[in-house]
C-alpha cells in the first residue's frame, strides 16, 4: 500500500504537469487506455476468461468511477496537489454514509464521529476556495470523492459475488476508455508529440502500477491497516506539491486535511 500511495501521488504529479498540454478528458482517456491495454494483454497472456455474468455491476461501477476520475483530474489540474488528493480521499466517509442510506447499515458511534470530523474538515478545507476563483475545482474534487465512495459499493458487491480482481480493474479501465473516447469526439484533440507523450505515459503507467499494488495490498494484507496506509498518498502529494510548485499549506489547511484523514480511518473501522 505504501508503494501504491507513492505511485498515486506520482500520477497526480503527471496529471498536473499534463494539464498544461491536454484537457482532463484526454488525460483520463490516455490513463485508462494504457491500463486497459496492459491488463488486457496480461490477461490474454495468462489465457484468462473475459466473460462475466456480472456485466451490469461492471457497467454501473465503470460509469460512476469514470465520472469520479474525470472530476478528480480536473481538481488536480486546478488546485494544489495536496488539497485535490485530500478531497478525493473523502470517499471512505461517503462510502460509510451511502452504506447507511442505501444499504440500511448501522454505523457505530466511532464511525459517526468520523463522519462529523470529516465534514468539518471538508468545510474548513474548502472555505478559502469558495471566496476565490477555484471554487468550482474544489466542488469537483468533493463530488469526485462522493462518486468514488459510491463506486466502491459496486466494487464491494463484485467482491461478494466472487468476481476476479483483475476483471474488476480491467472492466473499469475499458468502460472509462470507451467513455473518454466518446467525450473526446465532442472536443478538440491536442496533438501528442515527443515533447508531451512522456506525460501521458507517466499518467498511465503510474496509475496502473498503483492500482495493481493497491489490489495486491487489499488481497494479502489486513484491510484496516491497508486502508489507513492509503492516506500516505496525501502526505506524498503534499511533499511533491511543495518540491515541484512550492505549495505552502496554511495551518487551517493542515488541520482540515488531518480531520479528513482521521475521518476516513474511523469510517474504515466500521
Closest CA to 269 of 217, 220, 214, 224: 224
* Predicted local distance difference test score (pLDDT) of residue 17: 96
Domain ranges of the chain: 2-268
* Predicted local distance difference test score (pLDDT) of residue 213: 84
Mean pLDDT of 99-117: 77
Confidence band of 260 (pLDDT split at 50, 70, 90): confident
* Predicted local distance difference test score (pLDDT) of residue 229: 74
* Predicted local distance difference test score (pLDDT) of residue 69: 93
**Residue 7 clears pLDDT 90, i.e. is over it:** yes
**Residue 111 clears pLDDT 90, i.e. is over it:** no
- Residue partners of 45: CB distance under 8 A and separation at least 6: none
Confidence band of 99 (pLDDT split at 50, 70, 90): confident
Residue-wise pLDDT tens digits, 197-249: 999 999 999 998 988 888 777 666 666 566 677 778 888 898 898 899 988 77
* Predicted local distance difference test score (pLDDT) of residue 188: 83
* Predicted local distance difference test score (pLDDT) of residue 173: 92
Span of 16-20, 151-155, 178-182, 205-209 with lowest mean pLDDT: 151-155
* Predicted local distance difference test score (pLDDT) of residue 121: 83
**Residue 270 clears pLDDT 60, i.e. is over it:** no
Confidence band of 268 (pLDDT split at 50, 70, 90): low
Span of 20-34, 99-113, 179-193 with lowest mean pLDDT: 99-113
| Residue pointed to by grid coordinates 506539491 | 241
HSE-CB for 194 with a 13 A CA cutoff: 0
Mean pLDDT of 11-29: 94
Amino acid at each position: 500500500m505504501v508503494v501504491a500511495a507513492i505511485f498515486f501521488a506520482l500520477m497526480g504529479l503527471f496529471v498536473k504537469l499534463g494539464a498544461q498540454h491536454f484537457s482532463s478528458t484526454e488525460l483520463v482517456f490516455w490513463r485508462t487506455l494504457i491500463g486497459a491495454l496492459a491488463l488486457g494483454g496480461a490477461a490474454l497472456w495468462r489465457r484468462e476468461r473475459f466473460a462475466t455474468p456480472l456485466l451490469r455491476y461492471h457497467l454501473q461501477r465503470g460509469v460512476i468511477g469514470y465520472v469520479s476520475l474525470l472530476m478528480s483530474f480536473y481538481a488536480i489540474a486546478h488546485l494544489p496537489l495536496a488539497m485535490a488528493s485530500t478531497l478525493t480521499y473523502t470517499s471512505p466517509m461517503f462510502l460509510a454514509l451511502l452504506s447507511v442510506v442505501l444499504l440500511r447499515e448501522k454505523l457505530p458511534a466511532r464511525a459517526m464521529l468520523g463522519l462529523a470530523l470529516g465534514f468539518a474538515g471538508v468545510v474548513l478545507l474548502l472555505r478559502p476556495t469558495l471566496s476565490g476563483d477555484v471554487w468550482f475545482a474544489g466542488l469537483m474534487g468533493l463530488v469526485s470523492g462522493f462518486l468514488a465512495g459510491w463506486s466502491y459499493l459496486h466494487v464491494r458487491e463484485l467482491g461478494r459475488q466472487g468476481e476476479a480482481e483483475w476483471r474488476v480493474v480491467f472492466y473499469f479501465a475499458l468502460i472509462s476508455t470507451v467513455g473518454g473516447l466518446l467525450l473526446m469526439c465532442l472536443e478538440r484533440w491536442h496533438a501528442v508529440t515527443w515533447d508531451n507523450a512522456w506525460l501521458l505515459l507517466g499518467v498511465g503507467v503510474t496509475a496502473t502500477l498503483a492500482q495493481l499494488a493497491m489490489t495486491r495490498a487489499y488481497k494479502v494484507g489486513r484491510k484496516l491497516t491497508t486502508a489507513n496506509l492509503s492516506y500516505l498518498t496525501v502526505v506524498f502529494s503534499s511533499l511533491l506539491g511543495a518540491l515541484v510548485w512550492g505549495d505552502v499549506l496554511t495551518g487551517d489547511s493542515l488541520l482540515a486535511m488531518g480531520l479528513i484523514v482521521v475521518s476516513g480511518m474511523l469510517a474504515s473501522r466500521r
